[in-house]
């Protein structure tokens, strides 16, 4: 089935498999297992590092490659053609609030991988806001 739909959330398992195969041989080797587990567009957009372990992607470098590609796809799916300062600030606010709640609920001295990924996502969201404000 062709990937003519840009609504990633509506992609079928086969469309996701086609997209994953296009990421190169490192990711393509996981396509059969991901297809078998029913990874569709909606699940792909919510994919986190913890999910990759469950789905059989155990090599950290492969996880990073896949998560980076998914992040670009999320940006493509969710971002509007024009960014405005209010939208950028709202995104930072949402991510920072979620991160603060996660850290407040965390009682261990050791941070989970997902928490560190959330920190990176928040910093990543701050960069375009700072660039916009620096114009």
- pLDDT score at 5: 45
- pLDDT score at 80: 44
| Mean pLDDT split into 10-residue runs, the chain, 135 residues | 63 95 92 95 92 92 93 74 75 90 79 86 91 75
- pLDDT score at 134: 75
- pLDDT score at 1: 42
- pLDDT score at 106: 75
- pLDDT score at 84: 78
The set of long-range contacts for 120-129, using a CB threshold of 8 Å and a minimum separation of 24, is 121/71, 121/95, 122/92, 122/95, 122/96, 125/88, 125/91, 125/92, 125/95, 126/92, 128/83, 128/88, 129/85, 129/88, 129/89, 129/91, 129/92
């Amino acid at each position: 089935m062709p990937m003519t739909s840009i609504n990633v959330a509506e992609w079928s398992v086969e469309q996701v498999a086609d997209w994953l195969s296009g990421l190169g041989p490192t990711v393509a080797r996981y396509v059969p297992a991901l297809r078998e587990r029913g990874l569709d567009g909606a699940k792909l957009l919510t994919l986190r590092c913890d999910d990759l372990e469950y789905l059989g992607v155990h090599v950290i470098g492969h996880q990073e490659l896949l998560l980076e590609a998914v992040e670009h796809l999320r940006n493509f799916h969710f971002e509007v053609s024009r960014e405005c300062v209010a939208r950028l600030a709202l995104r930072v606010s949402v991510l920072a609030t979620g991160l603060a709640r996660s850290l407040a609920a965390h009682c261990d001295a050791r941070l989970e991988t997902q928490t560190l990924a959330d920190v990176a996502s928040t910093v990543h969201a701050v960069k375009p806001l700072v660039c916009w404000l620096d114009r």
